[in-house]
Structure formats: C-alpha cells, structure tokens
Amino acid sequence: MSSSRNASQACASCKYQRKKCDPHCPLAPFFPQHRRKDFMNVHKVFGVRNVLKLTKNLGHKEKSEAIKTLIYQADVRVKDPVGGCCRVISELQHRIKNLEAEYRLLLEQLAVCRAQKQAKAPVHKQQQF
Amino acid sequence: MSSSRNASQACASCKYQRKKCDPHCPLAPFFPQHRRKDFMNVHKVFGVRNVLKLTKNLGHKEKSEAIKTLIYQADVRVKDPVGGCCRVISELQHRIKNLEAEYRLLLEQLAVCRAQKQAKAPVHKQQQF
C-alpha cells in the first residue's frame, strides 16, 4: 500500500504543487481538495511556506483555528487588496462610535424624561420625598 | 554618482536581503531603514514576493494604504499567531452586540418612562387629549 494519497485524494496544496500528498502532509487536514479556492487565496496572500512557518509551533486545535483565520484574512484581502481586514476593523470601529453616540443620546433623553416625570408627579406624591 | 543607495541608505527590505537598493526599489518608499521591525513582520507573515505581487497593480496612494494595512495585519499576527486580525474583528463584533443589547434596554426604559410620565400627568392635562 502506498504511503501517499493518490492524485484524486491529494490535498489542495499538494495538488497545486504537484507533490505527493503523504499521510503526514501538514496542510492536508485543513485544505482537502474541495477547498481549493481557500488554499489558492491563502497561497496568494501568505504563501504555503509562511503558513507552515506561522503555524508550526501550534497544537492541532490552535493550528486549525489559525488556518481558519488565515483563510478568512486571505479571502478578505483578495476581495479588497487595499484595505483587507483593516477596512473591516475600521468599519466596525465606526459602527461602535455611532452606537456609543446614539447610546449617550438615549441616556440623555431618559434623564430628561425621568426629570419631567418627577416634575409632573402630583404635589402630594412629591412631598413624600 | 551611483544609481543605488549605499548600505546606510538601503531600505529595510534591501538591507535584509543584502541587495543593492536602487532608486526604483518598489519597497523603499514604504520601508525606510528605521522601519525594520515593520518590514520583518510583513516579511514573516506575507513574504516580500507576496507583498510585491499583491500591490503591483495599485497606484502609489493605494499601494501606500495597502502596505499600511499589511503592516498592521502582520503586527497583529505576530503578536497573536492564532487569531490575528480575526480576533480583533471578533472582539469588535462582540462589543457591537453588547452595545446593541444595552441600546435596546435603554429604549425600553425610555418607553416605560414616557408611559409613566403620561400616566402621572395631572388629570386635567390628560383630558386635553
């Protein structure tokens, strides 16, 4: 029995590099053949060598998470070569700034309403305090 | 006069690669020698070749913006090899979710306050409506 996967089983990375995909292929668990697009984006943005270097000291779970995040970042960078994830971050920060401003406004409106409610309360009620 | 910068003027990329840094060096405007750390992070995460490929079709302004975002992403990835920018995005999304929940709560409190204010208003005022 061969120790390498045959061509139809090779991972997206080995298939692209026309390499034998052996059972110890470090990218096979993360880039099965049907994730070719993910692999191509990651390869285009980071390069296979860098992905291997960046993840070599991580355990399987962390490596899996790291590769997921690299796939996301690569996809965003391919779609937005100038801004990449930074534009996503910037937009989210902008949304937070707006939400905080709206929140402060609502807080002021609530304070005004409470003050008016107190002022409108019948006199005998107010005198209890 | 030499067409290449001397060793002390070479950009961080050429200095690292021990290359002559000529006036057409595409990375020199973005990685002067004192930005060695930025260059090293970008090189570690993306690689010089990928940075050049990713930015080759961009005008100077867009290229400058793209390299700034690559520097940011590389810095975050070096500090957080598993999450990179995705963790930043995830934390911002979490903050937005919390802010939206707080905003909705405040909106409910305001509605209650307004209803109570209306109810507490003197009877003759209410009868006007």
Across B20-43, average pLDDT: 94
B11-20 mean pLDDT: 93
Answer yes or no: do A3 and A35 share one domain. Answer: yes
Q: How many of the other CB atoms lie within 10 Å of CB of B68?
A: 15
B-chain residues within 8 Å CB-CB of A41? none
Q: Looking at this predicted complex, what is its ipTM?
A: 0.85
Q: Which of the residues in chain A have pLDDT under 50?
A: 1-2, 125-126, 129
Q: Looking at beta carbons, which residues of chain B come within 8 Å of A116?
A: 117
**Record: contact B84-A69, CB cut-off 8 A:** yes
pLDDT score for A5: 58
pLDDT of residue B1: 42
Q: A85-105 pLDDT, tens per residue?
A: 999 999 999 999 999 999 999
More confident residue, B128 or A103: A103
Nearest-Cα residue of chain B relative to residue A64:
B82
The pLDDT score that the predictor gives to residue A118 is: 83
- B122/A120 Cα distance (integer angstroms): 7
When CB atoms are compared, the residue of A58, A86, A125 closest to B82 is: A58
B66 and B74 Cβ atoms separated by less than 8 Å: no
Q: Please check the confidence at residue B32 and state whether its pLDDT lies above 50.
A: yes
Does residue B36 lie within any of the structural domains? Answer: yes
Nearest to B110 among A49, A53, A109 (CB): A109
B64 & B104 share domain: no
The pLDDT tens digits for B53-107 are 999 999 999 999 999 999 999 999 999 999 999 999 999 999 999 999 999 999 9
Which of A25, A119, A107 lies closest to B99 in space, CA to CA? A107
Q: A65 and A111 share a domain?
A: no
Residue B54 and residue B27 in contact, taking contact as beta carbons nearer than 8 Å = no
Distances, alpha carbon A122 to alpha carbons A100, A129, B117, in Å: 35, 12, 11
Q: Hunting for tokens 């053949």 — which residue is that? A: A33
Are A30 and A74 within one domain? yes
Segments forming the whole domain that contains residue B20 = 1-79
Contact A120 B116 (CB under 8 A): no
A90 and A43, same domain (yes or no):
no
Q: What are phi and psi of B58, to 5 degrees?
A: -95, 150
| Residues above pLDDT 70, as percent of chain A | 87
Query: Is B128 contained in some domain?
Result: no
**How many Å apart are CA B64 and CA B50, to the nearest integer?**
15
B108, closest residue in chain A (CA to CA): A110
Whether A120 and B120 lie within 8 Å, measured CB to CB: yes
- Count the domains in chain A: 2
Shortest alpha-carbon distance between residue A46 and chain B (Å): 4
Same domain for B30 and B47, yes or no, is: yes
Q: What is the pLDDT of residue A4?
A: 54
This prediction has a pTM of: 0.85
The answer on B45 and B95 residing in a single domain is: no
